[in-house]
Amino acid sequence: MKRLEVKKMSLSLKSIRDCLLQENLLKEFIVAEKWQLTLPDSLDNRLVKDISYDSRTVTSDTLFFCKGLNFKEEYLEKAIQSGLELYISETPYDVPATLGIIVTDIRKAMAVLSMAFYDYPQNKLKLIAFTGTKGKTTAAYFTKYILDHTTNNKVAMLSTMNSTLDGKNYFKSQLTTPESLDLYRMMAEAVKNEMSHFIMEVSSQAYKINRVYGLFFDVGIFLNITPDHISPIEHPTFDDYFYCKRQLIAHSKTVIINHESDYFSLLKEMATLKQVPMIVYGTEKNEAVDYSYQTIPGDSLSFTIRSAKDPLNINGNYRLLLGGDFNKGNALSAMIASSLVGATQKDCQKGIQEATVPGRMELLTNNNNAKVYVDYAHNYDSLKNLLAYVKEEHPTGRLIVVIGSTGNKAISRRKDFSKVLSELGDVAILTTDDPADEDPITICKQIEEHITGDVKIRTVLDRAEAIAEALRISQPEDAVVLAGKGADQFQKIGGIDTPYPGDYQIAESIIWHSKK
């Protein structure tokens, strides 16, 4: 997408000092190699006209954030050689800068200063945030489709798959939740584009490393929690992962919680202790559930919403384009969130019926009539739910699964995938899925060594060839599942996003060419 230029903001050094003092983040200033607690009068009104954490994009008027585990002093030195005069860091550096601002926490400082620099754009938008181990992207898309009807397409969205700041043009997301500086720049761009609502996914990492420090959401939705992202470079334990996830509850003005989520009682207790108004949804009809959903017999895509009091006026029948009972729960969470910020029941019905999600439950038919499902399922719960649904839809055939696992993160998923494949799969074709700096052969072997039972295992590292192999061996009663990549059009290899056509496009092309 062609990016719109956000009007350049500015912030005085005095304002920066005051902001840091208010948050108790300021340690000292370094001026002319001297440490001091006050700014010289000559610098009080000096304006910062840009902020950056990329040493390659600085000028004399940039405030440069020295952040990240991989930060090196040489980055700062090169930036100063390019004209940089102002830097902010947790560590004093012996460099010829006009001013060094030393803080206790660089990421918190970057968050609060980014807010101020972009004139607090979050206050000019209705903010809706989803967290959970699975379903965030689908629920976010449901919400956008609903609110597009409410606002006449004035809804911005940041999602794992695609993001939009003008409600129409989409671009590839690099992180589930962007760095704070990028987040507020994007919010400011959405405000410039006259957006009224801003939907985003909030990852556990966003709280762990303070990307959303100090940010409060109008509506926060907690979908579910299961072990994921457990690795030395993400969360060392499930307890750490869960703690970071549930911070969304403490930073929402109203929270929506899934009654079927593991540890629901703890989530409810946290909302109560923090005095956050709470709406609970689920499949059960009981006193703890405010809104429940049930599938309409004879139509697996239709469901009914019921509430004893229905304060949001959303009781009624709805129909999805996406299969799977789990998507009905995602849809209900989106309807509740949308209703809280202005949507009507009619908006909900239209939006839910129209909603599609790139790479989620996309369906093709092979030339021999075997069904081919493309889905982004990339952790234990999402893969298990997907395969269970497909197995139920195709009880007499084999389940052929093409799957890999990402490198450099979420290492626990490899054993998780093995468990699901052992329980539900008939044929597993192991392949490449964003190996990053790891050897994809090693990743596949780590999945294979934990698979038990009668699952037939093949390893085909080239993902396009793995998809072709799955389609080739399929029989009319079988179902082929292409899991993990969804609509993603890149493979992360080393530090490079390598272009990749996408699972759906590859499968569709193979099917089309085999007809000739």
Does residue 375 sit in the same domain as residue 409?
A: yes
3-state DSSP percent of the chain in helix, strand and coil, to 5? 35, 25, 40
Tell me the residue range of the domain where 43 lies: 11-117
Instruction: Provide the annotated binding site.
Output: 55, 132-138, 176-177, 203, 211
CATH number at residue 242: 3.40.1190.10
Question: Both 291 and 373 in a single domain?
Answer: no
Check: CB of residue 486 under 8 Å from CB of residue 503.
yes
Q: Give the three-class secondary structure for 421.
A: helix
218-258 pLDDT, tens per residue? 999 999 998 777 777 788 899 999 999 999 999 999 999 99
- The pLDDT value recorded for residue 295 is 93
204: nearest Cα among 185, 223, 181: 223
**Quick one: pLDDT at residue 516?**
63
What's the pTM value of the predicted model, to 2 decimals? 0.85
**Residue whose structure tokens are 């409600």:** 167
- For 27-46, b/e burial (b = at least 16 CB within 10 A) is eebbbeeeeeeebeeebeeb
Mean pLDDT of successive 10-residue segments in the chain (516 residues)?
A: 50 96 97 92 94 94 93 94 97 95 98 97 98 93 97 94 92 86 97 98 94 97 86 85 96 98 96 98 92 93 95 97 89 98 97 91 93 91 92 94 93 94 98 95 97 96 98 97 91 89 94 83
CA distance 445 to 449: 6
* Residue 1 covered by a domain: no
Chain centre to alpha carbon of residue 492: 17
Q: What is the mean pLDDT of the chain?
A: 93
End-of-domain residue from the set 62, 97, 117:
117
In this structure, the answer to whether residues 304 and 201 fall within a common structural domain is: yes
In tens, the pLDDT along 290-323 reads 999 999 998 989 999 999 999 999 999 999 988 8
Q: Are residues 149 and 282 located together in one domain of the fold?
A: yes
* H/E run at residue 373: strand 371-375
List the CATH number of the domain containing 24.
Answer: 3.40.1390.10
Choosing from 289, 321, 354, the residue where a domain stops is: 354
**pLDDT value of residue 4:** 39
Going from the C-alpha of 50 to that of each of 23, 149, 215, the distances in angstroms are 21, 36, 21
Query: Within this chain, do residues 382 and 423 fall inside the same structural domain, yes or no?
Result: yes
The reply to whether 84 falls in a domain is yes
Do residues 153 and 31 share a domain? no
Supply φ then ψ for residue 369, to 5 degrees. Answer: 80, 0
> Residue ranges for the binding site for ATP?
132-138
Task: Give the per-residue pLDDT at 227.
Answer: 78
The answer to the question of residue 53 being in a domain is: yes
The strand pairing partners of 218, in sequence order, are: none
CB 200 within 8 A of CB 398: no
CATH number, position 440: 3.90.190.20
CA distance 54 to 89: 14
- The confidence score (pLDDT) of residue 447 equals 97
Q: Looking at residue 8, what is its pLDDT?
A: 53
Task: Give the type of residue at 302.
Answer: S
Q: Tokens 């509850």: give the residue.
A: 249
